[in-house]
Amino acid sequence: MTETLEKLGLSLAEFQKLHAEAHNETGKKRLAIVASKGSLDMVYPPLILATTATALGWECGIFFTFYGLDALNKKKYKGLKVAPLGNPAMPSPLKGLPVYVPNLVGAIPGMTFIATALMKRWMRKANVPSIEQFVEMAHQKGVKLIACSTTMGVMGIKKEDLLPEADIQGAAAFLHFASKATVTLFI
């Protein structure tokens, strides 16, 4: 390989740099996240990972699709909830109950409200920003907040329903971005 590179007038280091740039135009590490869920406990992870990645100097894009679009919806993003029903990892919001909330307890009216309030309280106590603050922070740090145009059509969501930080793109545009990602996640 070294002989071939010499014939081309390239050092190994130059070749490695060109190779890296061919896979990612900027030469930066890149994180591509698909956010497909719209519950409070599922919107936090992509925002935490994206803002952390940008703090480390990475490029980052989050593709919000299906219920994940709720994180960018003006009418919904402030009211995201945690549903204890069907969530086996849900800890008990009430002292004296087992460590988990079984489905039967999760089905009791008001438990979604309690689980949501509990999670928001945990986040505040841990000094974790709210979803509203995270979306703004992500935008300020340069995270691409991409709303899936196909899902918008399917769910009847219009551009004016979304936060101004949202960029509407189709799957093909996100796949182009993701094809050059160092790390790709589906959440």
pLDDT in tens, 101-118: 556 666 777 888 888 898
Give 88-104 pLDDT, tens digit per residue.
666 555 556 555 555 66
Instruction: Identify the structural domains of the chain with CATH numbers, from first to last.
Output: 2-186 (3.40.1260.10)
Which helix (H) or strand (E) segment is 164 a member of? none
- Rounded to two decimals, the pTM is 0.79
pLDDT at position 28 is 85
The two most distant CA atoms of the chain are separated, in Å, by: 75
Give the three-state DSSP class for 50: helix
- Rg (C-alpha) for the chain, rounded Å, is 21
Give 110-149 pLDDT, tens digit per residue.
888 888 898 899 999 999 999 999 999 999 999 999 999 9
